[in-house]
């Protein structure tokens, strides 16, 4: 019996006109931007109902996938304890609970031996996120910070999904919240040395983090003091507390330029002092190194360099180490007896340890990288809060290696694995991971990270899944994703395309995928897709793709550019109406984005270039892949209207049989850029997407 399919929602056409640089564009769906309009809400609810109806036949598969996700998770679990001064801090999860509990236990001289679900003698509950989330459809923590003497505990809480947080301070002796007067803050929390003050950030109407404030705990918010304000709309300001607790490091950055300051936390009402200045095109980050300032910068160095400067003259940089061929230095963390350098080398994330001499100088010639020999290993620093520690914790992962926390003794090189994340019902020997290379249209070699079950042959019959991002110099490194096992165990070949615009291969890789070279990101992804098909790894007609946020722009662009390559596409919170957004400086983040995409408001060349690739404005009347777009009503980063408009245009334009290749759109009505909150609700959301994807690929059964 043929299933009767419902009709897709069709929004009213209410044309508005956009006119720039002599180009006049009529947009029939821009009216949907107003989320206070009842008709807009009704349309979004109709889209959700339509998606429900079109995927109702997948209920059993969705349930199966959630069961698999849970089955690959040790639900009652805990983190490796982290020592902060005289306390060990622990994060615990409990079966059936969406959110963790944060606890601590006093240091008795050695790391405590902990077990999932078993509280230690004297273990103290700091924050029960599961209890805090009761009554809220959405709950997210934007920061946690114990006070210097560990008697107070600060947290930042969001219950709407708009990434505007309420500051709460708890007295750990009584367990009572003693201050929650500060609301609408951004990211970042830091106590003064005397713990009388808390530093926090505020965002402007465009959700740009532009101010740092100090709040005297227990005082009315109206008495808070502005520490520093960034007035240039291209820049976003943030801060952190130095590892030795002496200094607040404040940094304001655009995509290409940085300025930094230092504030003495022992004199919390003092003014921040300049620590590097602002020079156009000089991108840097500073770290308080105890007796000197350490700097990662690009002044004269494409791959960046590690420098030092006197604390009294923080602009007098002296280069110590320059990135080698194929390297990009990212950040430095300083300790009393060594520094840890995060970098990229050979397309992968790495960590380099540099000992310090007795006088604090860096022994560059004794630097050593942490390596484990895997072709797709990702190595990154873990939490290392103590100035006096002699070893460094790091995380190792790959597409087949579950997150592994290890500790390296800097002096001896001895390594201890502290924890491998348990993954029930998983045997890594059943799979194989590898690096492959595609050739872009201009001859550039594009790396892919590929994983599949060992028995899946490259005979041109397998279904495939290709992920991409390619913006902001953000790398999508190989990592272990438990939900991905449900694809692999159905014979799907899973790959990541490390396209230009991301940071995988260094700063030049990023530079050649932004501004007037942005189209390289799209053609690189198409080349990666073609490689998977031409090599026989994936069958023609059985390749799917996914990207989220700026990766959603990538999805919309490749759907227009090469729709014949893809059977189905997941576009999460997709930035698909990029030109409209970047033309409006009143929208969140727009002005700061001009250094990433260009300024189409004032530059006709940028306007014309962006118009050529913006997905919403380039949908073609040809057969398209099936599309599953998703968003959240309270997303501040990419407004819900972008996918709402795009989906309407795709449906009305493409020639595909939408009974077979549906164009679906889901909008979470209480959530943010990351979708639903809580691990079980996130699993349900992911199962919804992957059940649809597997159905489109004809790969719903386990191999």
Strand blocks (E) in 422-535 = 431-439, 445-453, 464-467, 493-497
Residue 147 main-chain phi, psi, to 5 deg:
-75, 165
Helices (H), 117-273: 129-132
Question: Which of the residues 549, 632, 656, 677 is marked catalytic?
Answer: 549
Pick from 502, 664, 463, 699: which is nearest to 8 by CA?
A: 664
Pick from 7, 3, 27: which is nearest to 663 by CA?
A: 7
User: 662-673 burial, b if ≥16 CB within 10 A, otherwise e?
Assistant: bbbbbbbbebbb
Question: Which of the residues 523, 524, 673, 688 is marked catalytic?
Answer: 673
Q: Rounded to whole angstroms, how far apart are CA atoms 66 and 671? A: 20
Helices (H), 538-678: 550-561, 578-582, 590-597, 604-613, 641-653
What is the separation, in whole angstroms, between the first and last Cα of the chain? 28
Q: Rounded to whole angstroms, how far apart are CA atoms 79 and 262? A: 32
Q: HSE-up of 36 (CA within 13 Å, CB side)?
A: 0
> 45-49 — which CB contacts under 8 Å span 24+ positions?
45/669, 46/9, 47/9, 47/644, 47/647, 47/665, 47/666, 47/667, 48/666, 48/667
In DSSP terms, 201 is beta-bridged to 212
Q: Rounded to whole angstroms, how far apart are CA atoms 471 and 469? A: 6
Pick from 64, 150, 71, 147: which is nearest to 104 by CA?
A: 150
How do beta strands 152-158 and 140-146 pair? antiparallel
- In eight-state DSSP terms, residue 291 is S
673 catalytic residue (yes or no): yes
Radius of gyration over alpha carbons of the chain, in Å? 25
SS3 573: coil
Tokens for 4, please give them: 């009767």
Q: Assess contact for 486 and 441: CB atoms under 8 A.
A: no
CA-to-CA separations, 639 to 28, 206, 305, 573, in angstroms, rounded: 17, 12, 37, 8
Question: Which of the residues 635, 656, 677, 688 is marked catalytic?
Answer: 635
Tokens for 139, please give them: 């709950």
Strand blocks (E) in 217-283 = 225-229, 236-241, 247-253, 258-264, 273-274
Distance of CA 135 to the CA centre of its chain: 27
Q: Assess contact for 186 and 164: CB atoms under 8 A.
A: yes
By annotation, the residues acting in catalysis are 549, 635, 673
């Amino acid at each position: 019996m043929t299933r009767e399919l419902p009709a897709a929602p069709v929004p009213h056409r209410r044309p508005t006109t956009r006119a720039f640089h002599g180009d006049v564009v009529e947009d029939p769906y821009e009216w949907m931007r107003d989320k206070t309009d009842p008709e807009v809400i009704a349309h979004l609810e109709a889209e959700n109902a339509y998606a429900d109806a079109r995927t109702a036949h997948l209920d059993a598969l969705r349930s199966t996938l959630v069961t698999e996700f849970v089955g690959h998770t040790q639900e009652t679990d805990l983190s490796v304890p982290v020592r902060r001064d005289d306390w060990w801090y622990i994060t615990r999860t409990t079966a059936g609970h969406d959110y963790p509990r944060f606890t601590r236990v006093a240091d008795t001289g050695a790391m405590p031996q902990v077990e999932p679900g078993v509280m230690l003698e004297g273990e103290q509950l700091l924050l029960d996120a599961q209890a805090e989330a009761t009554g809220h459809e959405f709950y997210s923590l934007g920061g946690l910070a114990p006070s210097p003497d560990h008697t107070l505990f600060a947290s930042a809480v969001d219950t709407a999904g708009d990434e505007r947080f309420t500051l709460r301070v708890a007295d750990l002796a009584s367990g009572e919240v003693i201050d929650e007067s500060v609301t609408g803050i951004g990211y970042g929390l830091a106590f003064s040395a005397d713990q009388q003050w808390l530093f926090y950030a505020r965002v402007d109407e465009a959700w740009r983090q532009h101010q740092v404030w100090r709040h005297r705990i227990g005082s009315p918010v109206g008495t808070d003091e502005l520490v520093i304000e960034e007035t240039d709309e291209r820049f976003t300001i943030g801060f952190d507390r130095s590892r030795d607790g002496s200094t607040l490091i404040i940094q304001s950055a655009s995509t290409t330029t940085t300025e930094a300051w230092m504030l003495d936390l022992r004199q919390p009402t003092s003014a921040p002092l300049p620590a590097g200045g602002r020079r156009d095109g000089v991108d840097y980050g500073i770290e308080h190194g105890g007796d000197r300032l350490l700097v990662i910068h690009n002044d004269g160095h494409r791959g960046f360099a590690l420098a030092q400067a006197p604390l009294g003259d923080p602009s007098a940089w002296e280069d110590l180490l320059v990135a080698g061929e194929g390297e990009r230095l990212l950040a430095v963390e300083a300790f009393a007896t060594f520094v840890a350098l995060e970098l990229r080398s050979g397309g992968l994330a790495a960590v380099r340890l540099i000992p310090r001499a007795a006088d604090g100088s860096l022994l560059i010639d004794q630097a050593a990288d942490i390596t484990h020999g895997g072709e797709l290993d990702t190595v990154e620093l873990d939490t290392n809060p103590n100035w006096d520690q002699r070893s460094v914790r790091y995380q190792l992962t790959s597409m087949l290696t579950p997150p592994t926390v290890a500790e390296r003794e800097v002096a001896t090189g001895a390594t201890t694995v502290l924890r491998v994340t348990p993954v029930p019902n998983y045997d890594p020997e059943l799979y194989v991971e590898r690096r492959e290379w595609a050739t872009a249209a201009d001859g550039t070699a594009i790396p892919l990270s590929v994983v599949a079950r060992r028995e899946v042959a490259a005979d041109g019959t397998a279904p495939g899944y290709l992920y991409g991002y390619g913006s902001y110099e953000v790398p999508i490194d190989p990592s272990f994703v438990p939900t991905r096992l449900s694809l692999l165990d159905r014979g799907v070949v899973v790959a990541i395309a490390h396209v230009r615009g991301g940071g995988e291969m260094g700063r030049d890789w990023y530079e050649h995928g932004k501004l007037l070279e942005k189209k390289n990101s799209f053609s690189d992804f198409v080349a990666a897709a073609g490689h998977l098909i031409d090599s026989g790894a994936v069958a023609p007609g059985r390749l799917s793709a996914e990207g989220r946020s700026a990766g959603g722009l990538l999805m919309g662009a490749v759907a227009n550019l090469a729709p014949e390559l893809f059977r189905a596409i997941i576009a999460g919170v997709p930035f698909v109406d990029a030109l409209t957004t970047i033309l409006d400086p009143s929208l969140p983040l727009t002005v700061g984005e001009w250094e990433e995409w260009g300024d189409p408001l004032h530059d006709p060349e940028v306007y014309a270039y962006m118009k050529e690739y913006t997905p919403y404005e380039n949908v073609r009347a040809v057969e398209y892949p099936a599309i599953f777009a998703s968003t959240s009503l309270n997303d501040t980063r990419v407004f819900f209207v972008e996918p709402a408009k795009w989906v309407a245009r795709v449906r009305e334009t493409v020639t595909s049989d939408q009974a077979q290749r549906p164009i679906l759109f889901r909008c979470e009505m209480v959530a943010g850029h990351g979708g639903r909150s809580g691990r079980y609700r996130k699993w349900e959301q992911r199962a919804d997407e992957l059940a649809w994807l597997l159905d489109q690929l004809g790969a719903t059964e386990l191999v």
